[in-house]
Amino acid sequence: MQGYAVLTRLRASLGADSSHLKDVQATKTGFALCPASPASLIALEARGDVISEFFKNCPIERSTRWVSYRLTNVPRMVSQITDSSYGLVPVVA
């Protein structure tokens, strides 16, 4: 399913609380439900029974908090000396 299809169907299932659900985004492991505000998150968690019924046998869990950093001046290639050669190899994380 696409995120928009899940959004429209889940909003219909939530009824009066549908305004709390701002967006549904597809992820590698399923879908991310995006609340409209922090207060909306609490309201959606209170309606967990409806959301669990919609997704049937799938676990519903809160996301972990991520912190992103932007690094500058990170080399893309580094020098490497092996027994028989010298060369540049890409940096992999």
Cβ distance 75 to 91 under 8 Å? yes
Q: State the alpha helices, DSSP H only, in the chain.
A: 3-14, 38-46, 48-55
What's the pTM? 0.62
Percent of the chain with pLDDT over 70: 98
**Mean of pLDDT over the chain:** 88
Residue 1 confidence (pLDDT) above 80: no
What are the structural domain ranges in the chain? 3-55
pLDDT, tens only, 5-46: 999 999 999 999 999 999 999 888 889 999 999 999 999 999
